[in-house]
Amino acid sequence: MTDYTNKVVFVAGGTSGINLGIAEAFARAGAKVAVLSRRQEKVDAATARLRAIGGEARGFAADVRDYEAVSAALAATAADWGPLDVIISGAAGNFLSLAADLSANAFKSVVDIDLLGTFNVLKASWPHLRKPGATLLSITAAQSWLPTPLQIHVCAAKAGIDQVTRTLAMEWGGAGVRVNAIAPGPIADTEGMSRLAPTSTAQQAWTDSVPLKRYGTKQDISRAALWLCSEQASFITGVVLSVDGGVALGGSSAMTRAMSL
Ligand code: COA
Ligand code: NAP
């Protein structure tokens, strides 16, 4: 396993699901890990789990849509632990809705959490990053390049995250900061898949649509995150890495079929 002893890692949206799996993996690899999400009880539970792994952990109850709150959390983490080595931006919202049924506020809510939230987290991290050496990683999805009915809000938000990733990779590469994204496929035991595939029929359709014929695990994603943020990936920046069992190869039609059941 990649060694992150004494590295400082900040995970926005790191209190459940895929992002908590990533936070825990960094903690097991020796990092000091800070997590941020809206609900205090989730923050407390996540920091307790991280401390149980054995390392230092801290948590912040804040909304990624609130730039000042995000900025204060990053500043407090750096003040306590020193320059930040890894920033993960994974907070997101999702639900199924046809565009015709979606209110402007519902569209805005998801774009604000996913896209504006990612901008806020990455931009606010800049003064506190280890330069050179820091790595930023956003969690996107195949909806960013595959148009997907019932997902117009997510498609728009995640497409924006991909371009934020590529643009920051160009602007911040000169400072020795790498900026990448991971696009997970369907991951078992997550809030995201409980919303996208609420029935066993839909779950089977998703499984069938994955060339590797299974849902991914949180560990599939955390392993890729640890690698992509490490020295082993030191010449990789500006990429969106699919960690999805090949599901995106099926294109929009496979995603749409699974999503519509
Ligand atoms: N279908 C259609 N519209 C929905 C909806 C749904 N299932 N759920 C919420 N909305 C609408 C609301 O009606 C509201 O619009 P309105 O003001 O026009 O009525 C708008 O979205 C905002 O809802 P609100 O509950 O105030 O938003 P929030 O900021 O508190 O929560 C969500 C954001 C809606 C994305 C919420 O589902 C959430 O917090 N999700 C986080 C967890 C998650 O989605 N995990 C999976 C990640 S892939
Ligand atoms: P999840 O458990 O719901 O994780 C979302 C996290 O973000 C939670 O910690 C949540 O905690 C936090 N959050 C939500 N809104 C926030 C806000 N406004 N401000 C701060 N924190 C906020 O979902 P998941 O399914 O594991 O998804 C994690 C990431 O993977 C997302 O980016 C998602 O788009 C991506 N993804 C998931 C799948 C999948 O199969 N699940 C597939 C592709 C991509 P609070 O409620 O406390 O705020």
What's the confidence (pLDDT) of residue 163? 99
In a domain? residue 3:
no
- Give tens-digit pLDDT for 241-259: 999 999 999 999 888 888 8
Kindly state if the Cβ of 65 falls inside 6 Å of ligand 2: yes
Kindly state if the Cβ of 216 falls inside 6 Å of ligand 2: no
What proportion of the chain, given as a percentage, has pLDDT over 70?
Answer: 100
Query: Atom 44 of ligand 1 has which residue's CA nearest to it?
Result: 93
pLDDT tops 80 at residue 121 = yes
CATH code, domain with 65: 3.40.50.720
In a domain? residue 231:
yes
- Give tens-digit pLDDT for 171-223: 999 999 999 999 999 999 999 999 999 999 999 999 999 999 999 999 999 99
- Expressed in angstroms and rounded, the spacing between residue 192 Cα and the centre of ligand 1 is 13
Tell me the ligand closest to 114's alpha carbon: 2
- The domain containing residue 147 runs over which residues? 8-259
In a domain? residue 111:
yes
> pTM, whole model, 2 decimals?
0.99
Averaged pLDDT score across all residues of the chain: 97
**Degrees, nearest 5: CA angle 43-46-51:** 120
What's the confidence (pLDDT) of residue 176? 98
In this prediction, residues 141-162 reach a mean pLDDT of 98
- For the chain, the domain total comes to 1
Query: Atom 43 of ligand 1 has which residue's CA nearest to it?
Result: 93
In a domain? residue 2:
no
Question: Is there a contact between 70 and 120 (Cβ–Cβ < 8 Å)?
Answer: yes
Structure tokens at 195: 């919303």
- Give tens-digit pLDDT for 48-95: 999 999 999 999 999 999 999 999 999 999 999 999 999 999 999 999
How far from each other are the two terminal CA atoms of the chain, in whole angstroms?
39
Residue 111 CB neighbours (<10 A): 18
